[in-house]
A = this chain, B = another copy of it.
Amino acid sequence: MRQENKEEMKARARNIALKIAYDGTAYHGFQRQSPPVVAVANVLEKRLSVIFGDTIELAAAGRTDAGVHAYGQVVNFFTDGRIPVENIVRAANSLLPDDIVVKAAAEAPRDFSTRHSARSKTYLYRIHQDSTPDPMKVRYAWHVREPLDTRAMREALREIEGTHDFSSFRAAGGKPMSPIRTMYEAELKEEGEDITIRIHGSGFLYHMVRNLVGTLANVGKGRLTVEDFRQILAAKDRQKASPTAPAQGLYLLEVCYDIPLFC
């Protein structure tokens, strides 16, 4: 197949947006990798190319890491393929493996970019707190042995709502972009041994949710107070925060845009 450049791809007739769910366990993150490393994007591009009859190169709202899951990743790509939009979900899912599912498809305006048009994102983080693990949750939650004080965690979590400099929770190797983000809502729900943290924000720094959760867990264990958490946030210094929580508890839940699309 002849290599196309980005400009030629964008000259194509349609801009298709898809909402994707995946179990990230078997993949080296979302973002396309060079073989033999396999990312979710590699599998999607290969199967979508069959359906649309041309080379698919997709852009995604969030570049999830290895082991991270998604209920609502949003991707878009330009194509001349003629399959009617209402047939895309079924056609794609008939070709995709069990751990990647197209949940919805839409024709997007030509200037829509899943990456650049995103207005807000919501992440979930799941903790399973029990003295022994649950084999059905090993791939889908962070197993924490010690009891957690969820009241203290909830109080600390409230501190991140609003606009803050999140440098303390940014990965060391992150790109040099502004560390200011706005969190619209941050909540913690408890159901038996399952703790779910949901954070809806304007955007997130690299590893930000996992770094926040790692520090929150230490509040839950009583190793940090809510006041310590407040000071860590205010310090704007990654060295002050706790270790990153593991990938398998994290889910990209939803991405919202100015236009009504899957949200």
How many copies of this chain does the complex contain?
2
A66-124 contacts to B, CB under 8 A, are 69, 71, 89, 93, 98-103
Whether A162 is near chain B, meaning CB under 8 Å from some CB there, is no
* Given A23-B138, A98-B138, A138-B98, A103 and B132 contact (CB-CB distance below 8 Å): yes
Asked if B23 contacts A101 (CB within 8 A), the reply is: no
**Which B residues are in CB contact (< 8 Å) with A23?**
135-136, 138
Q: Mark A35-77, 1 if CB is under 8 A from B, else 0.
A: 0000000000000000000000000000000000101000000
Contact of A133 among B98, B135, B138, B140 (CB under 8 A): B98
- The residue on B at minimum CB distance from A97 is B135
Q: Does A217 contact B (CB under 8 A)?
A: no
Q: At the interface, yes or no: A125 with Cβ under 8 Å from chain B? A: no
Q: Is A21 located at the chain interface by the 8 A CB criterion?
A: yes
Partner of A132, one of B22, B69, B93: B93
A190 at the interface (CB under 8 A from B): no
Contact present for B98 and A132 (CB under 8 Å): no
B133 close to A93 (CB less than 8 A): yes
Asked if residues B132 and A136 are in contact (CB atoms below 8 Å), the reply is: no
In A130-173, the 8 Å CB interface with B consists of 132-136, 138, 140
Which residues of B are found within 8 Å of A101, using beta-carbon distances? Answer: 132-135
Q: Are B100 and A135 in contact (CB under 8 A)?
A: yes
Supplied contacts A93-B132, A99-B135, A136-B140, 8 more A-B pairs, CB within 8 Å: A21-B136, A23-B135, A23-B136, A71-B134, A89-B132, A98-B133, A102-B132, A103-B132
Q: Top 6 A-B pairs ranked by shortest CB distance?
A: A23-B135, A98-B138, A99-B135, A101-B135, A101-B133, A21-B135
